[in-house]
């Protein structure tokens, strides 16, 4: 293929601010068609990318070689299933599915059809997480004993929409939204999990899904992860506080890429993922610590990996099997919060 034509399903926040600009900036990919019924969004798609807006899936299949699913969470599995059945490789925004069982069925279908299936776990390419992964691999912290990881927000007034008002049938709430990233990063850094404990609450009036969630993981290695996602953090905690046998790494502030994408900065522009020096994290002990330059964030590497997988047979940028493992942990967390017990993640929690 001289270029890979991409069909994007959904042009809300995920489609418009993340997937479309990243696809557009990736050599070898071309955003060809976008499924949206909103006329304003349809005009934007045409003006920005020269893509065709179609009102439904029926208008998509003949216009693309690759399908990217960025529609509401409850549609991920049925849309991906139809795309794979029609012979199209698929990228799915997180969460891959509602349950690990549904996810395994998708993985099996993709394997049977010999098609790529991958998941947009973009925060594996956050600059701070890339830095933490490197420090851990180099042994700079010693043995990691505890990972504390937060996505704090101060949003006392709900924004509305299905993510806040929907229930389990919508796969709404922070556990499956930001929690998908928190758990994925914890598993990537510290490996499999033996025990899960979670607390999940609704703190704001008019909200139907969890907006204050805490997850505690016991890793098989003996390390522990404490993970927070909340909309009622009037003062933000550190993004990472990681305690090791030799040193700790403490990092405040969010990765810069989302803010820049929302501002319309092209992800292939110079310095796109670079963080200002005053935001660098500190490595060491209270007696001796120093700032560590944050590696540049690299969301664009995800779609470069997609292009390489389809064109050259490289592994997908995110293994869907690894995401199934994270979904099993999220299911265990949901059960733990409901039953107020510690849960061991299983094949079908």
Cβ-based neighbours of 42, under 8 Å, separated by 6 or more: 34, 36, 53
Helical packing angle, 178-190 and 127-137, nearest 10°? 20
The alpha carbon dihedral of 337, 171, 194, 212 has a sign of negative
Which tens digit of pLDDT belongs to each residue from 9-37?
A: 999 999 999 999 999 999 999 999 999 99
- Rounded to 10 degrees, what is the CA torsion of 144, 342, 154, 74? 110
Which tens digit of pLDDT belongs to each residue from 273-283?
A: 999 999 999 99
Cα separation, 219 vs 317, in Å, equals 24
Residue 144, H or E segment: strand 144-152
Cα separation, 12 vs 146, in Å, equals 36
Contact 92, 73 (CB under 8 A): no
**Pairing verdict, β 4-9 and 52-54:** unpaired
Q: Report whether pLDDT(347) > 70.
A: no
* Structure tokens given for 323: 């995401």
Q: Report the number of secondary-structure helices (H) and strands (E) in the chain.
A: 11, 14
Q: What is the pLDDT of residue 326?
A: 96
The alpha carbon dihedral of 13, 208, 74, 111 has a sign of positive
Taken in order of first residue, the domains within the chain and their CATH numbers are 4-122+302-314 (3.40.50.720), 124-298+329-339 (3.30.360.10)
Cα separation, 168 vs 98, in Å, equals 9
Average pLDDT of 172-195?
96
Mean per-residue pLDDT of the chain: 96
Cα separation, 301 vs 273, in Å, equals 11
Percentage above 90 pLDDT, the chain: 94
Cα separation, 54 vs 70, in Å, equals 15
Residue 63, H or E segment: none
Q: What is the pLDDT of residue 152?
A: 95
Q: Report whether pLDDT(235) > 70.
A: yes
- Window from 53-57, 121-125, 129-133, 168-172 with minimum mean pLDDT: 168-172
Average pLDDT of 114-119?
98
Which tens digit of pLDDT belongs to each residue from 301-341?
A: 999 999 999 999 999 999 999 999 999 999 999 999 999 99
Q: How confident is the model at residue 126 (pLDDT cuts 50, 70, 90)?
A: very high
């Amino acid at each position: 293929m001289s270029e890979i034509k991409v069909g994007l399903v959904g042009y809300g926040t995920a489609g418009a601010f993340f997937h479309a600009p990243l696809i557009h900036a990736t050599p070898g990919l071309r955003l060809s068609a976008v499924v949206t019924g909103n006329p304003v969004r349809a005009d934007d798609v045409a003006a920005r990318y020269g893509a065709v807006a179609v009102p439904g899936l029926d208008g998509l299949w003949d216009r693309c070689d690759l399908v990217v699913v960025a529609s509401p969470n409850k549609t991920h599995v049925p849309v991906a299933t139809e795309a794979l059945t029609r012979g199209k490789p698929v990228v799915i925004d997180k969460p891959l599915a509602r349950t690990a069982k549904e996810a395994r069925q998708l993985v099996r279908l993709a394997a049977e059809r010999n098609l790529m299936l991958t998941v947009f776990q973009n925060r594996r390419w956050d600059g701070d997480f890339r830095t933490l992964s490197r420090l851990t691999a180099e042994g700079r912290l010693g043995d990691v004993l505890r990972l504390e990881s937060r996505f704090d927000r101060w949003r006392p007034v709900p924004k509305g929409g299905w993510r806040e008002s929907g229930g389990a049938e919508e796969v709404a709430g922070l556990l499956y939204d930001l929690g998908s990233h928190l758990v994925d990063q914890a598993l990537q850094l510290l490996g499999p999990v033996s025990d899960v404990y979670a607390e999940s609450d609704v703190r704001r009036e008019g909200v139907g899904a969890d907006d204050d969630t805490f997850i505690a993981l016991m890793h098989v290695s003996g390390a522990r992860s404490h993970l927070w996602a909340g909309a009622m953090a009037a003062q933000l905690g550190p993004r990472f506080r990681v305690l090791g046998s030799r040193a700790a790494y403490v990092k405040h502030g969010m990765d810069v890429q989302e803010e820049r994408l929302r501002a319309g900065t092209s992800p292939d522009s110079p310095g796109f993922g670079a963080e200002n020096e005053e935001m660098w994290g500190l490595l060491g002990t209270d007696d001796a610590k120093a700032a560590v330059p944050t590696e540049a964030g690299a969301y664009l590497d995800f779609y470069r990996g997609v292009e390489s997988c389809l064109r050259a047979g490289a592994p997908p940028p995110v293994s869907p099997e690894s995401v199934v493992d994270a979904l099993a942990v999220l299911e265990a967390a949901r059960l733990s919060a409901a039953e107020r017990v510690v849960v061991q993640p299983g094949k079908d929690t």
